[in-house]
Amino acid sequence: MRFLLVDQILEWSPDGKIRGVKNVAMSEDYLEFHFQGNPVMPGALLLEAMGQLAGWREGAASDFRQWFLLDTVRRCAYYGFALPGDRVELELEPLPDPAPDRRAWRGTGLVDGKKRVAAEFEGAVVPLAELEDPEAQRHLFGRLTRERKF
């Protein structure tokens, strides 16, 4: 099963920050058991949403030739729960690259201006064509940024 955890990209620049949104919907499969009777978005999926947002920034900045894959969490802290109906606003800023084929990021996730997660992480930059169809990703990026109409 694959979860696409970025619902909208609000802004981005090829060499700077990227901002996006994850809307937590009660219909998401993982909420049925996390926690039964008291659904919350798992913290690991908040971190994964940040990793996916970094992937979108790497893809767009490289004309969809490359992608970012999170593989190391330097630090991560959770400050509360993201609940069904919440709009989690994600913001990432690049840190100095640890190596030519790696990227590092600092990110936060806020709900109604209140911090829910903060993390620093890094990962590998890989050819996008080894993972996905670059044209399909370009098309989806257009929808996420609202540059392409439905």
Catalytic residue numbers, as ranges? 34
| CA–CA gap between residue 79 and residue 83 (Å, rounded) | 13
Burial group, residue 37, by CB count within 10 angstroms (0-12, 13-18, 19+):
exposed
Q: Are 109 and 123 in contact (CB under 8 A)?
A: no
> Are the C-beta atoms of 89 and 95 separated by less than 8 Å?
no
